[in-house]
Amino acid sequence: MALNVARETVAARKTRARAIARGLAKTYPDAWCELDHRSPWELIVATILSAQCTDKMVNQVTPALFAELPTPDALAAADPARVEELVRRTGFFRQKTKAIQAVARAVVSEHRGQVPDSMESLTALPGVGRKTANVVLGTAFGQPAIFVDTHVNRLSNRLGLTVESNPDRIERDLQGLLPPKEWTHFAHRLIHHGRRVCFGPAPLRAWTGLGCSGRARRRSASSPVPAGSHLRECSVRAREPTSESGG
């Protein structure tokens, strides 16, 4: 039965959120950032390049980029035309070149070549918003962080964990539902589910515990439902937790 999220108690929503988090952990135990990186610097650059581009394509581009320009100093000093050529396949390559070189210059001049590890300092970097900062803080620095991309935005609403559309407000709502130690894993797992099962206009037949509103579509070889999932028509916007959804 659908739930009126606006009238749900905070305690009840926390119970559902934690059941969803347990189910995500059971279904996607190894889900993590899909952007290849070896350092906070590589992650911040890869995250900027991922705008309007798939992680798969970014991962094809960054090895050559970092092999030739491995540090903020090297990227800041590089010929923009060469950087454009290296990142061309990610799309919007001129804007992205300006963005990553601006970040590189700021990291060099203001932080001695080291990516800062605070929200205030990261968002002070040119072109770095709260989502990118949270990705870096949670993934590279191990700090509790919830990053609200298009998947987290969509699924958190479909699952009845928020009624907001503003990413900052969604972040605040999700933070209030889960303990900080779970934030980063929860965000990565929700993104994983959104990319593989619960698509935008028409989610797949999805695992019961993460029921999402919308019509179902057939599975495809490129987006399989995880092995062991329980399949059912996605029809729930905010479902009461069951023993099955509790993981």
Query: What type of residue sits at position 198?
Result: C
Residues labelled catalytic: 131, 149
Query: What range defines the domain where residue 46 resides?
Result: 40-114
pTM score? 0.81
Is 123 part of a structural domain of the chain? no
Whether residue 210 is found in the same domain as residue 173: yes
Compute the distance between CA of residue 24 and CA of residue 189 in angstroms, rounded to an integer.
Answer: 6
Whether residue 150 is found in the same domain as residue 107: no
Within 62-113, strands assigned E span none
Contact 89, 97 (CB under 8 A): no
Is 237 part of a structural domain of the chain? no
- Long-range pairs, 164-173, Cβ under 8 A, ≥24: 167/130, 167/131, 168/130, 171/130, 171/134, 171/146, 171/147
Main-chain dihedrals φ then ψ at residue 162, nearest 5 degrees: -160, 160
Is 136 part of a structural domain of the chain? no
Give the CA diameter of the chain.
59
pLDDT at 202: 61
Domain boundary among 72, 98, 114: 114
Compute the distance between CA of residue 177 and CA of residue 13 in angstroms, rounded to an integer.
Answer: 7
Domain boundary among 96, 114, 132: 114
Whether residue 45 is found in the same domain as residue 24: no
Is 90 part of a structural domain of the chain? yes
pLDDT at 2: 58
Whether residue 107 is found in the same domain as residue 47: yes
Whether residue 17 is found in the same domain as residue 44: no
pLDDT at 8: 87
Whether residue 156 is found in the same domain as residue 227: yes
Whether residue 110 is found in the same domain as residue 161: no
Counting the structural domains of the chain, the total is 2
Is 25 part of a structural domain of the chain? yes
Whether residue 151 is found in the same domain as residue 227: yes
pLDDT at 243: 30
Is 197 part of a structural domain of the chain? yes
Compute the distance between CA of residue 106 and CA of residue 225 in angstroms, rounded to an integer.
Answer: 43
Is 166 part of a structural domain of the chain? yes
Whether residue 153 is found in the same domain as residue 226: yes
* pLDDT averages per 10-residue partition of the chain, 247 residues: 74 95 95 97 98 96 98 98 98 98 98 98 96 98 97 93 95 98 97 88 53 41 39 32 31
Helix H or strand E segment including 231: strand 231-232
Whether residue 225 is found in the same domain as residue 150: yes
In whole angstroms, how far apart are CA 26 and each of 53, 183, 187, 203, 244? Answer: 29, 16, 14, 20, 11
Is 246 part of a structural domain of the chain? no
pLDDT at 200: 74
Contact 154, 115 (CB under 8 A): no
Domain boundary among 98, 114, 130: 114
Q: What is the CATH number of the domain that holds 24?
A: 1.10.1670.10
